[in-house]
C-alpha cells in the first residue's frame, strides 16, 4: 500500500524523473530542468505551494504539486494543481484518487475555498472528474467549502 506524504529534499531526483516522464506539451517550451530544481525548495517551504508524493516501497509512484495564488474574490488563497502524475508502472493500482483526495484535504486545511486544475491532460481528466471536479469553461474545479 502506498504512503502519501509531503515531499522532502531527498525526493528531488525522483520528482524530476517523474516530471520528465510526462508527455511533452506542445504549448510549453522546452523545460530547463536546472531551473525546475531551483523552484522545488520554494514548493517545499509551503509558503507558495506544496508537493505531495505517493511512495510505494521507496519508489515515488505519483505526485501532486499545488500552488496557492491569492485572489480578491475569494478573500484569500485558492489551490491550483500544477502537476498530477502517476508513474505509468503504478497506474490502475489505486494511486491517483487517494493522492488527489489528500491534495483536497491539504487545500481545505489551508483555508482554500476552491481548487482548480488548468489544462488537464487526457490521461488525468477522468481521474479528476471521478473525484468530484467538474468542467468550468477551460478549467476543472471543485469547491472546497
pLDDT value, residue 60: 97
* Residue 140 burial (10 A CB sphere; 0-12, 13-18, 19+): buried
CATH 3.40.630.30 assigned to domain 3-143? The reply is yes
Q: What share of the chain is helix, strand, coil (3-state, %, to 5)?
A: 35, 30, 30
pLDDT value, residue 30: 65
pLDDT value, residue 128: 86
Q: What are the residue boundaries of the structural domains of the chain, listed by start?
A: 3-143
pLDDT value, residue 11: 94
pLDDT value, residue 31: 67
pLDDT lower than 70: segments of the chain: 23-31, 138-139, 145
Amino acid at each position: 500500500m502506498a504512503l502519501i506524504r509531503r515531499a522532502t529534499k531527498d525526493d528531488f531526483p525522483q520528482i524530476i524523473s517523474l516530471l520528465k516522464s510526462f508527455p511533452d506539451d506542445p504549448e510549453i517550451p522546452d523545460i530547463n530542468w536546472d531551473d525546475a530544481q531551483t523552484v522545488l525548495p520554494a514548493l517545499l517551504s509551503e509558503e507558495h505551494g506544496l508537493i505531495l508524493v505517493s511512495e510505494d516501497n521507496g519508489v515515488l509512484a505519483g505526485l501532486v504539486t499545488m500552488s496557492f495564488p491569492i485572489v480578491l474574490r475569494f478573500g484569500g488563497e485558492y489551490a491550483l494543481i500544477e502537476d498530477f502524475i502517476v508513474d505509468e508502472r503504478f497506474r490502475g493500482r489505486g494511486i491517483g484518487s487517494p493522492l488527489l483526495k489528500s491534495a483536497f484535504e491539504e487545500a481545505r486545511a489551508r483555508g482554500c475555498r476552491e481548487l482548480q486544475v488548468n489544462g488537464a491532460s487526457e490521461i488525468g481528466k477522468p481521474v479528476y472528474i471521478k473525484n468530484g471536479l467538474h468542467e468550468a469553461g477551460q478549467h476543472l474545479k471543485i469547491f472546497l467549502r
